[in-house]
Structure 1
């Protein structure tokens, strides 16, 4: 390579590095009694997305929101050329606990995060295409819980994952019997009740009710 071409190559490399950054993402479960299933954290171009509020859920989103399976969304992100951190907490993220991960981001990239909320029918923590700042610094996102719109929020143990670390009631009659909004939307939160052997819900309202935001996310751009 001659000196002229070498200079162009070095200049292009420096230009590319100037438009890229490593970011650290810290996620805190801000609820009192809700658990996060394995998280999917991704940086990607603004043309890609994992979900969209007001649009019908994809089959991959449905699998995550109803059962905590992030493999489909991970494939979607990978096919879009995303930088991915799958399951940074190495399992369930308990109430009050935090996890962190580091990802690579190109100039103009956005940040997306998902994980199912337990217990719920189809609720998930959602960050949809948050624009990553160009300026170095620390930024805070208050993340809401979304409803995938794919399942009625009946709050019955027979309709939801039942991990051993959650105590469910029995014989609930069901909160909702149908899906009022079949598009992704802000979740109204669990209702629950205080009757462990009946009532309308198998969720404990003293532990499993929640309001938004459900997570505090700190993004550090280096």
Structure 2
């Protein structure tokens, strides 16, 4: 049995959710890494009874597409069609290290906030905020976000297995850090291993440039 909710079941939960917690919020996402990039972000306000991803459970195909290639279209459609308030790509493209993106949302009846974006360079890593409860009391709240592994692809760290944007300097000739998926559920990402051999070694990722540890982002939510 698929451990993630289908579009139909998500829609059913949204229709049954009756909480009245209309609020306007400002959401600012800051890339807190030294040299890791975020693909276009998805920000969704929704009922606390549903989730777009869940640690310890298998990723849906929409999360897989986002985490492996940065494609938020299917995930955005899934949430929007179910009644979520969705903002796609508030940074208008890649969110560079140290940069921030801000969006304003009228959350309607939604009481939870989810944020996702792929981490570059990784095989299937993504920054994630999983169904964070939106406070009802006006104020400014800060949340630090971890990087997750979607569990859908082995972390081989090879150039042929990852998106290769021109702003990332990949090596070649790596033999692969991993060859099989060792945990096929969403889990905390171990970070890139990398190496210092640009023409061989295990990885095609430079360990001096693209290693990272959690947390990878800071989110500030202002409830008005």
Contact 2:45 2:113 survives alignment (8 Å): yes
Match of 2:120 in 1: 118
Deviation track 1:16-54 (CA, whole Å, cap 9, x = no partner) reads: 9x8311000000000011000000001011122111111
1:8-157 pair list within 5 angstroms? 19-106=21-108, 109-157=111-159
2:21 and 2:111 in contact (8 A); partners too:
no
Contact 1:107/1:134 (<8 A) preserved: no
1:10 maps to what in 2? none
Q: Distance in 1 between matches of 2:174 and 2:56?
A: 30
Tell me which moved more, 186-195 or 18-27: 18-27
Task: Give me the TM-score of the superposition, normalised by structure 1.
Answer: 0.90
**Deviating more after overlay: 42-51 vs 151-160:** 42-51
Q: Partner of 2:80: helix, strand, or coil?
A: helix
RMSD: 1.3
Query: What are structure 1's unaligned runs of at least 5 residues?
Result: 1-15
Shift of 1:63: 0.3
Does the Cα contact within 8 Å between 1:108 and 1:131 map onto a contact in 2? Answer: no
Paired residues of 1:40 and 1:87 also in contact (CA < 8 A): yes
Whether the 8 Å CA contact 1:42–1:103 is kept in 2: the answer is no
- CA distances 1:61-113 after superposition (whole Å, capped 9, x unpaired): 00000000000110111122111110000000000110100111245610000
Structure 1 stretches of at least 4 aligned residues deviating more than 6 Å after TM superposition: none
Q: More deviation in 143-152 or 72-81?
A: 72-81
The correspondence for 1:186, drawn from 185, 188, 193, is: 188
Where do 1:206-217 residues align within 5 Å? 206-217=208-219
Question: 1:20 is paired with a residue of what secondary structure?
Answer: coil
SS at structure 1 position matched to 2:68: helix
Question: In the alignment, is the contact (CA less than 8 A) between 2:37 and 2:119 conserved in 1?
Answer: yes
Corresponding position of 1:160? 162
